[in-house]
Amino acid sequence: MKLTKGASAATQKYMVDGIRYVCENFKERSPGSHSERKAQKYLKGELEQWADKVEMEDFSVHPAAFMGWIPAAGCIGIISVIFFWLTYKGVVSGPGLAIVATVFVLLALACLVIEFLMYREFVDFLFPRKVSRNVMARRAPSGEVKRRIIFGGHTDAANEWTYSPTKYWPNNTTDKVSFFAYAPYESNVSGGRVGIVTSQIDDTGIPSIDFTLKEATKIDEMVDLVVAEELNKTAQDEAIQFNFRHTLSKINFKAKLGADYSGLDGTSSFIYITHMWIIGKKGGSLSFDQTNKLTNENSKFYTKATWKDLHWDYENATIAEGDYSIEKIMKMEEKEITEIWADGTEKSIKGIILKKGNKETPVDLFKKDQYLYLIPINDNAEEVAADGAGGCTSGDIQIGFHYDIVSKTADSSDDNPKYAVSHLETAVSLPANHMKRGKFYTYTFTISLKEIKVSAAKVNDWGSVTGNFDVN
């Protein structure tokens, strides 16, 4: 990097320190990754110190498409050659395969020209979609506008694995070397390890990782721990190719209404999901009804465990005693509602609205790109247990779930909307044989209450009462 000669020593130091901070603390910044988002938030904070306006803009990316078209085009080319050969040898009569082969060749060339040379999105839709962001800062001029200056840069980084110092293969070609890798690497500003701590470099055997779940206050920073290993390699194997595997269970929640609901217009009446949490062993802290606190004495909600011998080890694992709120990643409505309590007092609450249309269409309970990454249960072997085996038993993980039946009060107005609320709370157990390593679970809660209906009304005949009365 070359710095302008006129830049002061303080400016140069600021630039170098900033670059170093990003490189050390926000590694593996592939487009749309969690690390890239953290780097963008950091840059936004830096820009806000001098800019008049700083904003972030989402846009879609398909990172794997830029180079992913190459093997796809290669496969198409190989198929084309085979089709031409079959036609040439007379194995297949007619020009059909030759025409298909020609189309495939043209398609491969189109990928080269449009995707690589013209830099247009031609086959991107075939690859996973992610969301990246632009960080835009503006500073207004103090005088007459003579020119507009635009600075641009990339917050993402090439997906390249490096190490230091350089190592070399043993001279004895029969010697074998095993390699291990994991991601992400976590550190705080001072360089200390946080949440993901590997065994010491001089420890024998397969490296282990002590993994600690993020605190509930930082649940939006949950990480997906991935590992890879290449065992017993020799110099003949040349470059090492890591195939990373997920070590955690990924969980997403949705909710919908049962068939009994017919009203709930979403304005004057609706269901309001306000709280969700993983119930702790002693729990109770997040229960709305403190006289009937939700607890789970059989909980296997691990907040800490060790990745050891290529599977999870629970010898020194920690099971949460208290409740673990997941409210921070819930997709709450921006507007609060004013709840009227029985004694006439008011309370503002936030939640997720469910209304009539959500009988068929479930609502996402988590914010975009937010999930739970939890330590698997009963993961005692290198191989993942087969379907219907291993994982949790019903009740190992229980979700505290609080929802309200909401309707506007008679004195409510557009300027001052007020609501009468009925509070309901329950515990939901994750199904047996779930919570396995490397599995993505999506659970949909169905909220059902039997609707009260009036089928008919009539007035009975007057009843007759007779008696004797003394009048003084």
Please indicate, yes or no, whether the overall pTM of this predicted structure exceeds 0.75. Answer: no
Asked whether residue 367 is assigned to any structural domain, the reply reads: yes
208 to each of 53, 106, 384, 412, how far by Cα in Å? 46, 50, 18, 60
Least confident window among 75-79, 235-239, 265-269: 235-239
Q: Is residue 194 part of a domain?
A: no
Mean pLDDT comparison of 192-201, 224-233, 295-304, 331-340, highest-scoring range: 295-304
pLDDT of residue 450: 66
**Is the pLDDT reported for residue 167 higher than 80?**
yes
What pLDDT score was predicted for residue 456?
Answer: 67
Query: What are the b/e assignments for 102-133, b being 16+ CB within 10 Å?
Result: eebbebbeebeeebeeeeeebbbeebeebebb
Is the model's pLDDT at 74 over the cut of 50? Answer: yes
Using a pLDDT cut of 90, give the percent of the chain over it. 29
Rounded to 5 degrees, what are φ and ψ at 279? -75, 125
**pLDDT above 70 for 471:** no
Task: Give the residue from 108, 126, 144 where a domain finishes.
Answer: 126
pLDDT for 190? 41
The encoded tokens of residue 12 equal 């140069």
Structure tokens at 182: 């994991």
The answer to whether residue 189 sits within a structural domain is: no
What's the pLDDT at 213?
93
Asked if pLDDT for residue 7 goes beyond 70, the answer is no
For residue 421, the enclosing domain spans 249-299+321-447
* Spatial separation of the C-alpha atoms in residues 287 and 273, rounded to whole Å: 14
257 & 403 share domain: yes
Stretch 231-250: mean pLDDT, rounded?
88
What's the pLDDT score for residue 411? 84
Closest-CA residue to 379 (of 241, 227, 242, 231) = 227
**pLDDT tens, residue by residue, 179-211:** 999 988 765 544 444 688 888 888 888 999 999
> What value does the mean pLDDT take over residues 218-233?
90
Query: In terms of domains, do 288 and 436 share one?
Result: yes
* 448, pLDDT greater than 90: no
How many of the other CB atoms lie within 10 Å of CB of 32? 21
* pLDDT per position as a tens digit, 98-140: 888 888 888 888 887 887 777 787 778 778 888 888 999 998 8
Nearest to 296 by CA among 281, 284, 285: 281
- 360 in a structural domain: yes
pLDDT at residue 159 in the model: 63
Q: What do you get for the CA distance between the two ends of the chain, in Å?
A: 115
Q: Please state, for a pLDDT cut of 70, what percent of the chain lies above it.
A: 91
Q: What is the pLDDT of residues 358-407, one digit of tens each?
A: 888 899 999 988 999 999 999 999 999 888 889 999 999 999 999 998 88
More confident residue, 290 or 470: 290
Owner of token pair 């206050």? 217
Domain count along the chain: 2
Query: Could you report the per-residue pLDDT of 80-94, keeping only the tens digit for each?
Result: 888 888 887 777 777
Structure tokens at 104: 């495939």
Among 126, 161, 176, residue at a domain's last position? 126
**pLDDT at 1 (0 to 100):** 44
Residue 226 or residue 162, greater confidence: 226
Answer whether residue 30 is part of any domain.
Answer: no
3-state SS string for 113-148? HHHHHCCCCCCHHHCCCEEEEEEEEECCCCCCCCCC
What are the two backbone dihedrals, phi and then psi, of residue 124, each rounded to the nearest 5 degrees?
Answer: -60, -35
Q: Quick check: is 229 in a domain?
A: no
Place of tokens 């909600």: 301
- 251-267 tens-digit pLDDT: 999 998 887 776 788 88
In a domain, 92, yes or no: yes
